């Protein structure tokens, strides 16, 4: 009985680790390049798996596992704010760990489900679903061009000055005393890793 539980634990640990590494290494990291977040995701997923898998033997429900997730999310990194993208990947990592640790499915169903999660994350990072646009805030000095009627001139001027393929522009603030405006430009990257 103990060797069966040990084999079950090791197989689930391998599935969890491979799934989290694939998610982080091939879905998150190539498009974000934030190593500071990538490795903690892997360690967080492993830690959540181990805690939930070991507590699962104590007859704990999936509701308790999600309650544990809520506690982790309240305790997590309170001093550093992370973007919605990092928060989403953190949620996916924890979901994979919970499914691997306390999910009542066979190992191949677990592999299929984790693979589907990784595939969805990968396609959401590419331009297959939505076009990829980057944004940048700039200080612009030709305030006359920010009028709604002058949008084409504004975009043409910004494209010439920045050399970027600007798709649209948002006006964040205007300082009429200094004759400047803070703009957020949205542009298509020259490559996916820009």
58: helix, coil or strand? coil
Q: Which helix (H) or strand (E) holds 183?
A: strand 180-188
CA distance 140 to 185: 11
CA distance 28 to 30: 6
pLDDT, average across residues 34-63? 80
CA distance 62 to 176: 57
Contacts of 76 (CB under 8 A, 6+ apart): 90
Give the other-Cβ count within 10 Å of 79's Cβ: 4
High-pLDDT (> 70) share of the chain, %: 82
Higher per-residue confidence, 174 vs 68 = 174
Please tell me the predicted confidence (pLDDT) of residue 75: 56
High-pLDDT (> 90) share of the chain, %: 45
Q: Which helix (H) or strand (E) holds 134?
A: strand 134-140
What is the side-by-side strand order in the sheet with 134-140? 134-140, 180-188, 165-175
Please tell me the predicted confidence (pLDDT) of residue 142: 86
Written as six digits, the tokens of 43 are: 């360690």
Please tell me the predicted confidence (pLDDT) of residue 53: 84
**Per-residue confidence band for 192, with pLDDT thresholds at 50, 70 and 90:** very low
- pTM given for the model: 0.71
Please tell me the predicted confidence (pLDDT) of residue 119: 95
Contacts of 150 (CB under 8 A, 6+ apart): 144
pLDDT, average across residues 55-65? 63
CA 152 to chain centre: 33
CA distance 30 to 193: 7
**Per-residue confidence band for 1, with pLDDT thresholds at 50, 70 and 90:** low
pLDDT of 160-183, one tens digit each? 999 999 998 999 999 988 889 999
pLDDT of 73-120, one tens digit each? 665 555 567 778 888 898 899 899 989 988 889 999 999 999 999 999
Give the other-Cβ count within 10 Å of 83's Cβ: 11
End-to-end CA distance of the chain, in Å? Answer: 53
**Residues shown for the chain:** 194
pLDDT, average across residues 61-73? 64
Q: Is residue 19 packed enough to be buried (19+ CB in 10 Å), middle (13-18) or exposed (0-12)?
A: buried
Mean pLDDT of the chain: 84
């Amino acid at each position: 009985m103990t060797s069966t539980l040990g084999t079950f634990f090791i197989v689930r640990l391998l599935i969890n680790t491979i799934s989290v590494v694939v998610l982080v290494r091939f879905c998150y990291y190539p498009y974000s390049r934030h190593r500071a977040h990538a490795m903690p995701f892997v360690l967080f997923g492993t830690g959540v798996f181990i805690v939930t898998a070991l507590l699962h033997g104590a007859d704990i429900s999936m509701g308790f596992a999600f309650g544990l997730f809520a506690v982790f999310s309240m305790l997590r990194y309170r001093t550093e704010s992370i973007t919605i993208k990092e928060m989403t990947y953190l949620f996916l990592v924890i979901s994979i760990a919970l499914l691997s640790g306390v999910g009542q499915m066979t190992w191949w169903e677990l592999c299929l489900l984790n693979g589907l999660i990784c595939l969805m994350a990968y396609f959401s990072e590419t331009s297959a679903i939505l076009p990829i646009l980057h944004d940048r805030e700039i200080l612009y000095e030709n305030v006359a061009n920010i009028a709604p009627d002058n949008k084409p001139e504004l975009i043409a001027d910004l494209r010439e000055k920045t050399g970027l393929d600007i798709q649209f522009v948002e006006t964040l603030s205007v300082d009429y005393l200094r004759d400047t405006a803070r703009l957020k430009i949205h542009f298509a990257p020259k490559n996916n890793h820009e």
